[in-house]
Structure 1
Amino acid sequence: MTDRVYNVLFLCTGNSARSILAESILNKEGGGRFRAFSAGSQPKGTVNPFALKVLESFDYPAKGFRSKAWDEFATADAPVMDFVFTVCDNAAGEACPVWPGQPMTAHWGIEDPAAVEGTDIQKQAAFVAALRYLRNRISVFAALPVASLDKTSLRAKLTEIGQSEGATSPRHSAA
């Protein structure tokens, strides 16, 4: 058994909803084995209030989040990532920075809850669905015996997780 903590970066375009949800979920559910971060290619500058409300309602950390650019994690003094997951199709199609350490990557796209129009109840329901899909994926990921899997097997598992219920674009297998 290893005491190693794996760094995980969740990417989205705006870093205001899905990537924030994923960061919070993994930091709580990761059992101390993972340290999660989030960022965006074109950060909105603010975190969507529905993301924070839903995190809080499901007893996940909802404080201290900020919408930030993924460039922060591509610098020499940034934490070295072991895994980088895109959670939106737009970010998966963009040219990502070169990540120090050559992390494993996968695409875990789900629909953007922030794009839902309608009543506050409809918007909140979209965020709850996004949280559920992300929590399911993160639970499977956190249970993987990462240290004992070879790279090929691990990559296959990460791709399979990204194609689970709620996937927007199963054809993408890497970020």
Structure 2
Amino acid sequence: MPVNKPNVLFLCTGNSCRSQMAEGFARHLKSDRMNAFSAGIECHGLNENAVAVMAEKGVDISSHTSKVVEELGQIEFDYVVTVCGHANETCPMFRGDCKVIHVGFNDPPQMALAFEDKEQKLECYRKVRDEIEVFIKTLPDNLPGYTEKGND
């Protein structure tokens, strides 16, 4: 097990859905191997459908808050994972040896606009949730240049 876990920030446009799901899964599945955070370029509030579909997987993100990067203070991130195109294109600079990688996921609220039925809308969120879960399960080992600090 790593002595010093990497700090990983999941960054999205509004920190309402995809980045929140990523942080939730990372804390739920990988807290022994990494410190997970999420933020947005902007603050859009926590998406209730994201909360609902995460609860279906036993992951409670209902107490999460939507925040911008600046609210995370002096945390030095080892990795920033942008989970949407806009965040990737407008990603701020981070100090230190922070590595920024992009792993894009479709936008559930945008996908859900095609449907009127609540269940069909939720299916959009579930699809992206499941894709994010698969990605999180590969962390931190698949992050570029990752080695377990303290065990080199």
Give the TM-score band, short-chain normalised. 0.7 to 0.9
Q: Which residue of 2 aligns with 1:136?
A: 134
Post-superposition shift, 1:63? 2.9
Structure 1 match to 2:26: 26
- The one-letter code of the counterpart of 1:126 is C
TM-score calculated relative to the size of structure 1: 0.75
Partner amino acid, structure 2, of 1:99: F
State the percentage of identical aligned residues: 30
**Amino acid of the structure 1 residue aligned with 2:66:** S
Query: 2: CA distance between counterparts of 1:101 and 1:25?
Result: 26
Cα deviation for residue 101 of structure 1 reads 2.2
C-alpha displacement of 1:14: 1.0
Q: Any conservation in 1 of the 2:10–2:83 contact (CA below 8 Å)? A: yes
Q: Which has the higher contact order (CA 8 A, sep 6+)?
A: 2
Runs of 5+ in structure 2 lacking a partner?
Answer: none
The DSSP-based 3-state class of the residue aligned with 2:80 is: strand
Please say which of residues 109-118 and 17-26 is displaced more in the overlay. Answer: 109-118
Instruction: Quote the residue 1:85 is aligned against.
Output: 81
Quote the Cα distance in structure 2 between the aligned partners of 1:2 and 1:88. Answer: 29
1:108 partner letter: V
> Alpha-carbon deviation of 1:49?
0.2
In the TM superposition, 1:19-168 aligns within 5 A as 19-44=19-44, 46-73=45-72, 77-94=73-90, 96-115=91-110, 116-117=112-113, 118=115, 119-144=117-142, 146-147=146-147
Aligned mates of 1:120, 1:32 — CA distance in 2: 36
Q: CA deviation at 1:21?
A: 0.2
Structure 1 spans left out of the alignment, 5+ residues: 149-175
- Cα 1:31–1:67 shift into 2, 3 Å: closer
Q: For 2:83, give the aligned amino acid.
A: V
Following superposition, the deviation at residue 147 of structure 1 comes to 1.4
Distance 2:18 2:101 in 1: 15
SS at match of 1:141: coil
- Tell me how far 1:143 sits from its aligned partner: 4.3
The secondary structure found in structure 1 opposite 2:147 is: helix
Q: TM-score, normalised by structure 2?
A: 0.86
**RMSD over aligned Cα, in angstroms?**
1.9
Task: Flag the structure with higher helix content.
Answer: 1
1:45-66 residue CA offsets vs partner (Å, 9 max, x unmatched):
x100001001111001223211
Q: Which amino acid in structure 2 is aligned with residue 49 of structure 1?
A: E
